[in-house]
Amino acid sequence: MNSCSRHPNRPATQYCQKNDRYLCDECLRCPNPMLYCIHRVACVIWYLERERRREWQAAGTGEGGRV
């Protein structure tokens, strides 16, 4: 199993094709969500980030806030 690019002691749960790096659950965010990505339609990271934003907006914490 691969390790997280930022936290080498943690196992990676996802792989970012756009940035060619592995990410753990804590790092699981799209680093450049406004830049075009040819992998976006199949990107689990983008999907999870989009769902998080919807949850934040529904909770009234705004984009980027923590619930």
**Tens digits of residue pLDDT in 34-62:** 888 888 888 988 888 888 889 989 988 65
Residue 21's pLDDT band (cuts 50, 70, 90):
very high
Q: With a cut of 80, say whether residue 66 has pLDDT above it.
A: no
Q: With a cut of 70, say whether residue 65 has pLDDT above it.
A: no
Q: Distance of CA 14 to CAs 18, 25, 58, Å?
A: 12, 8, 26
What pLDDT, on a 0 to 100 scale, did the predictor assign at position 37?
A: 87
Q: With a cut of 80, say whether residue 31 has pLDDT above it.
A: no
